[in-house]
Structure 1
């Protein structure tokens, strides 16, 4: 089960989606012509190549880390893509075996590619957002995962409804049972037990997606990615012009503390990236530039 062609198609798709989103976000910076910070210079992404560290020093793949800091719309946003391979360490093998992946003890080779995005906004009325999609392969199994979820510190019911409606619009062609299932999964996955609450207003999430039809699962993964900009960009365009108060900014910083707690304690992607030797700065790109705890 080599899947050479399929792996390349997936990696190429994640890179194309990254390029589209980076261009769209820089476009939001350029078009911000009124409201708070509109007289500042538009932000631009800084792009850095990343490498996965292998124990024997051999090539283990890498990716691109694209981060914008201090823009007039985005305070910090990262859009990373990666394509890595090698052998899983013992702890990662055990984790994969626990998730039902067969044969990891005898052949721990793996390949993974994906896109990961987290945006923290200047304006507290603009929601933070997360999106990622990925493909994982071993000689014994393959699967897709990912989703997107909205993380406002000041909630607007209409924004939440729009975000979810777009997700459903893109997922319903794959089966009307898909969106409700992935919405419920997101509600469960993005829950913070030690706080007794969700980290945001939800979205969609899936993991270990292998229906037996690679093309169908890849198409679903692509539409999760395609839904992101139509779901998120209109919210930014609407909210970025609103004035904010010191209390609004304080609420944003406190909510960012909640976001940081989740990503450091519970997020699977953070744990996997650090455990498999990927660039730590790229893995921790999701953390906000400033946060506050009460």
Structure 2
């Protein structure tokens, strides 16, 4: 491993950890400031932090990370913000889960890999507040490296102005990298977060990229960072606006049914879920994205 490559890996892993720290701090501050509405009497939520481990087939330790989960707060019913850095060798099924859009050069002869990233899913108390997903990540193999990630909004009760704000913030952060990035990554998200067996989207979209490599590591990493930086300004104002809005039992029922869509997508189609389970990562961390309660009609 060259010094440059080692430095790039360390830089990416440190950034994902920094972003995790910023987000968990902001979410706990939301819990502290939420002193109105139907859940104001509850104790402010706090993240429970657990170390996670990845084990290879022979039981050796091959990296891990932090699983941070908050349950039953004033604002968040369940939210997880995970970071991990894992490495080792990939079997054939894990290789397929790792890169669906292209083959991995040289992987059959040298199946080593390294991956680091952050993954976030938030399921909210108030059904007027949208659920949200965000992740960014870097993968490396001996013959290739690439970035991936994005964020998408999943409201059970849709508000056009909320959707507009969320997308406007994504665009504002992507436009400095070139005017073509936002529309391309928006279309990519619309394609990726589609549920074929329901013939509908999981939510109202966002941005997404995968297997992204122009050959310029610094440029691609800068784009990945701004995808992460866009998250809080895109999401927090929506929480602030909707968190004390009155809701009915019918609204809550709508939320639970919509969560069923989220669970179906993550268990059937999501590549991150498949990759995590195929590579031996902590299953509780991998399945952190599932909602605490859901229903099907």
Q: What's the TM-score once normalised by structure 2's chain length? A: 0.97
Contact conserved, 1:114 with 1:135, CA < 8 A, in 2? yes
Deviations 1:7-45 (A, max 9, x none): 000000000000000000000000001112112110000
Q: Secondary structure in 1 aligned to 2:184? A: helix
- Structure 1 runs of 4+ aligned residues shifted over 6 Å read none
- Kindly indicate whether residue 248 of structure 2 is the aligned counterpart of residue 245 of structure 1: yes
Of residues 266, 278, 290, the one that matches 1:287 is 290
1:164-243, aligned counterparts within 5 Å?
164-243=167-246
Aligned length: 294
- Could you tell which deviates more after superposition, 19-28 or 35-44? 35-44
1:61/1:162 CA distance change after superposition, 3 Å? same
Q: Secondary structure in 1 aligned to 2:238? A: helix
Of residues 157, 162, 173, the one that matches 2:160 is 157
Distance in 2, matches of 1:260 and 1:28, equals 26
Partner in structure 2 of residue 10 of structure 1: 12
Distance in 2, matches of 1:9 and 1:231, equals 25
Partner in structure 1 of residue 105 of structure 2: 102
Deviations 1:50-80 (A, max 9, x none): 0001122222000000000000100000000
Distance in 2, matches of 1:217 and 1:105, equals 26
Residue 182 of structure 1: how far off its partner (Å): 0.1
Distance in 1, matches of 2:202 and 2:172, equals 24
Distance in 2, matches of 1:80 and 1:157, equals 30
Q: Secondary structure in 2 aligned to 1:130? A: strand
1:19-168, aligned counterparts within 5 Å?
19-94=21-96, 99-168=102-171
Contact conserved, 2:97 with 2:271, CA < 8 A, in 1? no
Q: Give structure 2 stretches of 5+ with no counterpart.
A: none
Deviations 1:142-162 (A, max 9, x none): 000000000000000000000
Q: Secondary structure in 2 aligned to 1:264? A: helix
Residue 96 of structure 1: how far off its partner (Å): 5.3
Residue 100 of structure 1: how far off its partner (Å): 2.2
